[in-house]
Amino acid sequence: MPGSLILFGDSITQASFSECGFGAHLSNVFARRLDVLNRGFSGYNTRWAKTYLNEIFPICQSTTTELVIIFFGANDASLLDQNPRQHVPVNEYGQNLLDICQHVKDRHTNSHILLVAPPPIDHAKRLAFQKQRYKEQATGVLERTNEGAGLYAAKCVEVALAAQYPVLDLWTLMQKEKDWSSFLSDGLHLTAEGNRFVGHALVNIINKTFSNLAVIPDKLNGAFHNSGSSSNFAKFLPWHDEIDEKSYSEYQQLMNGGGHSGGHSGGHSVGHSGGEVEQSEGVERKEDSSSSSSSSSSSSSSSSSSSSSSSTSSTSTSRTVVTPWDAKAGDEGFDYMKLINDYGSQPINDELLARFEKVTQHQPHEWLRRGIFFSHRDLHLILDAHEKGEKFYLYTGRGPSSESLHMGHLIPFRFTKWLQDVFDCPLVIQLTDDEKFLWKDLGLAECHRLAFENAKDIIACGFKPDKTFIFSDLDYYSEMYTTILEIEKRVTFNQVKGIFGFNGSSSIGKVAFPAVQAAPSFSRSFQIPLKGNSNMRCLIPCAIDQDPYFRMTRDVAPRMKLCKATKKKGCYKPALLHSVFFPALQGPNSKMSSSNKNSAIFVTDTKKEIKNKVNKHAFSGGQDTMELQREHGANLIVDTSYQWLRFFLPDDDKLKEIGNAYSTGAMLTGEVKKILIDVLQEITAGHQQARAKVSDDMVHEFMSVRPLNF
Ligand code: TYM
């Protein structure tokens, strides 16, 4: 599907598909390359536009928007004494424009932004229009003046230049034309000629400023949308004269499902989703049991069912469901690239890792090198801050719903410990006993007790005692309450409904909870531990399932007050590092679950339990018989033992050796399982020893509200 170009403005934009309209012109120029959407709101000034931003650019928007053109000011520039309803003071207008741009940037992360300053006002035509419309009641006094519009145009240009957005100054540009009055019908809105002028000016500036979007028309007939036109930008489907027998039959095959690889071997074929973003379903429902079955040796199908609210990301053939409370893979496993697209996060690429190494003087962790932490938000800003010697803090957490952690839970904690060592920075760890009380069938006291127990496992990961503050929400809530309220005030029910899928039967506790998980992202929540630092950057490592909380958090951040004492607004957005899911023993299509003991290895498991579980339940990508395995080798993608080694075998060379031997048939499943068992037994034994040394007093110390050392 083509991406989009959004026109956002007032009545001038709303009418931009009328005769010779500039919107229609853009639609013609970008036909089959971009869908031009009209988001013009007649009569709106920037204040009203800002109020409805969440409706116009909702949180779960696509990353396929290429350009948003923001065209306001004609109504803001109404004179205060003549039209106080629409008038917006010029400085507020400038700030509103910036806020609108920021909102658009947050929602449409790949999109360019172009500002358009209001056109001039023709006084004589304006008064004539007034007379025609109000007859005897016409006041004969202008409610907008050309000088006034000029001030707003200048402000638009000023803020655009300061914030480095390109801008089209219509007020100045039009008045350079001798006959500019002919551009305006009622002295304010555009005639067909005026529309034509704006359309051409827009295409000019787009071509000049965003060369990747430029469309060069066919030299012969000037058409923008045939095979003689050209653009760096992909067209939607082939031009008719590019369709020959071969491409047509290939296309048919693809549509009939025969064109892609994939087969039984767990390839990555994904349905033709066309990059569309599916909004959250907004339903609270029981998930169907998810089961993975295979004919491979030593497989066992898993089946788990859970109750969850879900916002979903789906492809047309398979369905990946990822919420903070449930994660279910599609037919082809979790489609992480699609999650990046849908969530609008950034992939972690080699360039970023090289910068990480340069700035920290540490080789990136193997989980970064192996793509296990695969996505981020604003990591480069954290690196910039570190480079400048600015302090930041780490924040992660655990929902204490069971006595002990499984290996999947260890991923963010072990990784966070590594980050703490690399950056030598303070860390806060939230134990959401309140969340588990609200979502699980557990009493409050039990959740609180589990938080304390889980804290021991977390401490056993080796965090620095003088730099780490662990807190239970039940204990620490009052310290965060003002921050929670600030967040709650700025997030609507519609927003959390859209992000988390709440509905009318969701408890109000659940609806309010996201603000509690958001609050630790702001240093103002830690007056004592972070020593009164009211705006410190924050980096959150977690699996991708927690991202919905932090999308919401990042959305409110610029509107947050820095601390209780000041009215100054604008907290840093938390940065994030997202990991993939450590798969269940039963294979890549499921997430580990504390309630299914055979889906996971727990840090409390004995050596014998580990051996039994791996031998009995670890899904094998190997062949059915030894002969076949020797001949064809194993499918590493679906093989649990190999995949788990990718997480827990730090030695790159050894991992590579195993991968080569196993995938070519030189190794058998049993041999790889044996290696995995040894690795897991060593890790859990080490963890159990470390945990045995964690006394209650140590937990109290980690959980005491005290200034951290940084
Ligand atoms: P919880 O207890 O479900 O999970 C704790 C952490 O473990 C991650 N995780 C996994 N990572 C990899 N593979 C898996 N199979 C797997 N299962 C869970 C989770 O993403 C999480 O990072 N609401 C949260 C607690 C929380 C939190 C936070 C988490 C509060 N504040 C800030 C991360 C960051 C929860 O219930 O996590």
- Helical pair 350-360 and 379-387, crossing angle rounded to 10 deg: 20
Report H helices in 61-122: 90-107
DSSP 8-state symbol, 72: -
Q: What is the Å distance from ligand 1's center to 397 Cα?
A: 6
Q: How far is CA 21 from CA 6, 38, 192, in A?
A: 15, 11, 7
Q: Which residues pair with 284 in a beta bridge?
A: 309
Judge whether 56 and 189 are in contact, CB under 8 Å.
no
Q: What is the Å distance from ligand 1's center to 124 Cα?
A: 65
pTM: 0.62
Residue pointed to by tokens 């963890």: 687
- For ligand 1, atom 31, the nearest C-alpha belongs to 397
pLDDT number for residue 219: 82
Distance CA 301, CA 571 (A): 47
Residue 686: count of CB within 10 angstroms of its CB: 13
**Would strands 34-40 and 3-9 be described as parallel, antiparallel, or unpaired?**
parallel
**Of all atoms in ligand 1, which is nearest to the CA of residue 400?**
2
pLDDT number for residue 255: 52
The tokens describing 230, both together, are 């050209």
Closest CA to 511 of 281, 305, 280, 309: 309
Judge whether 40 and 105 are in contact, CB under 8 Å.
no
Residue numbers in the chain where pLDDT is lower than 50: 257-317
- Helical pair 640-648 and 669-692, crossing angle rounded to 10 deg: 40
pLDDT number for residue 635: 92
**Of all atoms in ligand 1, which is nearest to the CA of residue 544?**
20
What's 646-666 look like in SS3?
Answer: HHHCCCHHHHHHHHHHHHHCC
- For ligand 1, atom 35, the nearest C-alpha belongs to 399
**Of all atoms in ligand 1, which is nearest to the CA of residue 520?**
31
Distance CA 35, CA 6 (A): 8
- In the chain, how long is the greatest CA-to-CA distance? 99
What size, in residues, is the chain?
710
- For ligand 1, atom 34, the nearest C-alpha belongs to 396
The tokens describing 441, both together, are 């069938």
Closest CA to 315 of 374, 269, 253: 269
**Of all atoms in ligand 1, which is nearest to the CA of residue 540?**
34
- For ligand 1, atom 29, the nearest C-alpha belongs to 397
Closest CA to 544 of 219, 295, 323, 248: 323
Distance CA 92, CA 100 (A): 12
> Which residue among 304, 334, 403, 409 has the greatest number of ligand 1 atoms within 8 angstroms of its CB, and so is best to mutate?
409
pLDDT number for residue 626: 92
Contacts of 297 (CB under 8 A, 6+ apart): 620, 622, 623, 624, 625, 669
pLDDT number for residue 117: 98
> Which residue among 545, 581, 582, 590 has the greatest number of ligand 1 atoms within 8 angstroms of its CB, and so is best to mutate?
545
Torsion, CA 605, CA 611, CA 613, CA 616, rounded to 10: -170
Catalytic residue among 4, 11, 291, 296: 11
**3-class SS of residue 236:** coil
Q: What is the Å distance from ligand 1's center to 349 Cα?
A: 23
Q: What is the Å distance from ligand 1's center to 520 Cα?
A: 15
**Of all atoms in ligand 1, which is nearest to the CA of residue 545?**
20
> Which residue among 343, 393, 398 has the greatest number of ligand 1 atoms within 8 angstroms of its CB, and so is best to mutate?
398
The tokens describing 282, both together, are 């907004």
- Count Cα atoms within 13 angstroms, Cβ side, for 575: 19
Q: What is the Å distance from ligand 1's center to 561 Cα?
A: 27
Distance CA 695, CA 264 (A): 50
**3-class SS of residue 392:** strand
Q: What is the Å distance from ligand 1's center to 409 Cα?
A: 6
Start-to-end C-alpha separation, the chain: 50
**Of all atoms in ligand 1, which is nearest to the CA of residue 435?**
23
Residue pointed to by tokens 């095959």: 253
DSSP 8-state symbol, 277: P
> Which residue among 395, 413, 546, 550 has the greatest number of ligand 1 atoms within 8 angstroms of its CB, and so is best to mutate?
546
Distance CA 88, CA 92 (A): 7
pLDDT number for residue 565: 54
pLDDT digits (tens, 9 = 90+) for 524-572: 999 999 998 888 999 999 999 999 999 999 999 998 877 555 566 689 9
Judge whether 227 and 239 are in contact, CB under 8 Å.
yes
Q: What is the Å distance from ligand 1's center to 708 Cα?
A: 24
Q: What is the Å distance from ligand 1's center to 458 Cα?
A: 12
CA 405 from chain center: how many Å? 27
Closest CA to 296 of 645, 637, 646: 637
Distance CA 483, CA 395 (A): 16
**Of all atoms in ligand 1, which is nearest to the CA of residue 324?**
23
- For ligand 1, atom 22, the nearest C-alpha belongs to 542
Catalytic-residue membership of 11: yes
Closest CA to 347 of 336, 356, 357, 355: 336
Judge whether 422 and 415 are in contact, CB under 8 Å.
no
Residue pointed to by tokens 């990961």: 461
DSSP 8-state symbol, 683: H
- Pocket lining for ligand 1, CB < 6 angstroms: 324, 395-399, 408-409, 411-412, 430, 432, 435, 517, 540, 542-543, 545-546, 579, 581-582, 591-592
